[in-house]
Chains A and B, each alone.
Chain A
Amino acid sequence: MAVEGLRRIDSTKIEIPRGYKPGMRTNGIIYVDRTLEKDLDIRSVEQVANVATLPGIVGPSMAMPDIHAGYGFAIGGVAAFDLKQGIISPGGVGYDINCGVRLVRSGLRKDKAIPKMRDIVEALYNRIPAGVGSKGTLRLNAQDQKRVLLKGAGWAVEQGFGSQEDLEHTESGGCMVGADPEIISRKAYDRGRAQQGTLGSGNHFTEVQFVEEIFDEKAASSLGLFKGDITVMIHTGSRGFGHQVCTDFLDVMQKAAHKYNIQLPDRELACAPFNSPEARDYIAAMKAAANYAWANRQCITHWVIESFLKVFNTDPKALGMGLVYDVAHNIAKVEEHDINGRKTKVIVHRKGSTRAFPPGHPEVPDAYKHIGQPVIIPGDMGRASYVLLGTEKGMKEALGSTCHGAGRVMSRHQAIKRARGRSIRREMEDMGVTVRYTGRSTLAEEMPEAYKNVTDVVDIVHNAGLSKKVARLKPLGVIKG
């Protein structure tokens, strides 16, 4: 049932008019077609409207087609704020700071890999710690912990977990400059100490896939993706460390909102003026958590490659494994955008949405400058995932942003209820996907039908011109927490 009071702009987007809710300073835009509009949750529409009430918002409060209700900001949300009049909000980044996803390519053909899928999945499961509260094999002393926060994926590469090329193929080079380890609470350090190099639980995974379909041969070839080749996708973030940073600063921001007289329609939207000391501290802490997450995904990538080397008893060159790209989908960044015809720096919040910069943009790595920034979109563990590229239209219309995944249609609780009496593992096996997991309820929560069909979501951002399809990847094996 469609939400009342919204106006359809075209086949791919609807508007939340400024009068939808008192206090809206701008309109809202939700990228959604008529089919997915029927599933729109009014709570998520309200959340997009709530963001539009925050001071200094520049352009519309936006949401991508994988929108669903979150805490404060909707998941799938994109919003930019002026650096002088605007705010920064931890709720616009999310609890799992720099939750993100990366894609590893290989020269391995699927017919060689499928007969060994059980061994591959077992090797991944044995090497990559996964599950609720999982602890890694890395033991970091206080100095190392600080180095992780300052250097991000670069720290992991210094430890021998990867190469310089991996950093070049990671958003922001795998490190946001300006992290301050001294601003981090003792509790965040405690929660993060044993979790570096771990997958965690929930929707996080490591998945073995093959390239099922190519939509753009030239671009796919530039990314090293060829039909029938094996790829590996890693989805995780900053673990308990990032959650604690967010929790710590939500408290700070509650007080700041009161101090600076900012009216909040929802306490999870707690924020501070961008140029306030509270905002400066949060940004320094958020960058530290973002760097923690990039180091985490870099370490896991190393163990993925090690696992494949072990199963195929070969050398890295023969396997041809390398990082395609790594994107953050819970983050806030200062970026330059064309606002009303003028190049302007704004603070862009992306919560459950992905940066998607066009060809030629200075932040796109040299190897991909001619095609645009790769965007990695994980779907559910049964159907598909996608590789997209950023476009000029997306840069102009949506602050160079696109969707981040499939988006849930069922709550975790609903999914567990729906899975009662079924063997999700066996259903996955029947679909040709080998699954290894630690928590049975995690598997139920994450069953394919708990999510929208990622193809429907991706088709909307493709048809809207926010990003363009390059390849579809099909899952073969997955490890989950």
Chain B
Amino acid sequence: MFDTYGYIGRSFSVNLKNNSLSAVISGGVFDPRVNESRLLIKAATYHGLSVKKAGSGWEATVIFDI
């Protein structure tokens, strides 16, 4: 979304129900006069990727290329 449209989210509402996830994201287009340029995730990698059971839930580790 950012690479293509310059879109940056400001508020996020995420709903996780059964096995589906829906989210509403609101924000706007990046403006270098107002927004500070910081970290950009360029890719999600398989490096050190893990998903394991942790208590009553699951814990995932994902390393991003930045």
Interface residues of A (CB under 8 A from B): 71-72, 95, 131-133, 135, 190-191, 193-195, 201-202, 240, 243, 246-247, 250, 254, 266-268, 270, 412, 438-442, 481
Query: Across the interface, which residues of A come within 8 angstroms of B3, CB to CB?
Result: 133, 190-191, 195, 240
Q: In the complex, how many angstroms separate the beta carbon of A332 from the nearest chain B beta carbon?
A: 18
Asked if B43 and A132 make an inter-chain contact with CB atoms under 8 angstroms apart, the answer reads no
Asked if B46 and A132 make an inter-chain contact with CB atoms under 8 angstroms apart, the answer reads no
Asked if B40 and A268 make an inter-chain contact with CB atoms under 8 angstroms apart, the answer reads no
Please, how many angstroms separate the alpha-carbon atoms of A440 and B30 in the complex? 17
Query: Across the interface, which residues of A come within 8 angstroms of B30, CB to CB?
Result: 133
User: What 6 A-B pairs have minimum CB-CB distances, sorted nearest first?
Assistant: A267-B46, A240-B3, A190-B4, A191-B3, A439-B37, A132-B40
Query: Across the interface, which residues of B come within 8 angstroms of A194, CB to CB?
Result: 4
Let me know if B42 is at the binding interface, CB within 8 A.
yes
Q: Mask for B51-66, Cβ within 8 A of A = 1, else 0? A: 0000000000001011
Asked if B38 and A133 make an inter-chain contact with CB atoms under 8 angstroms apart, the answer reads no
User: When A133-B2, A240-B3, A268-B46 are in contact, do A441 and B65 touch as well, CB less than 8 Å?
Assistant: no
User: Which of A133, A193, A247, A254 is the one whose CB lies under 8 Å from B43?
Assistant: A247
Asked if B66 and A412 make an inter-chain contact with CB atoms under 8 angstroms apart, the answer reads yes
Asked if A243 and B43 make an inter-chain contact with CB atoms under 8 angstroms apart, the answer reads yes
User: Which of B4, B63, B65 is the one whose CB lies under 8 Å from A243?
Assistant: B65
Q: Mask for B28-48, Cβ within 8 A of A = 1, else 0? A: 001010001111101111110
Please, how many angstroms separate the alpha-carbon atoms of A272 and B65 in the complex? 23
User: Which of B40, B44, B63 is the one whose CB lies under 8 Å from A133?
Assistant: B40
Interface residues of B in 4-30 (CB under 8 A from A): 4, 6, 30
Query: Across the interface, which residues of A come within 8 angstroms of B2, CB to CB?
Result: 133
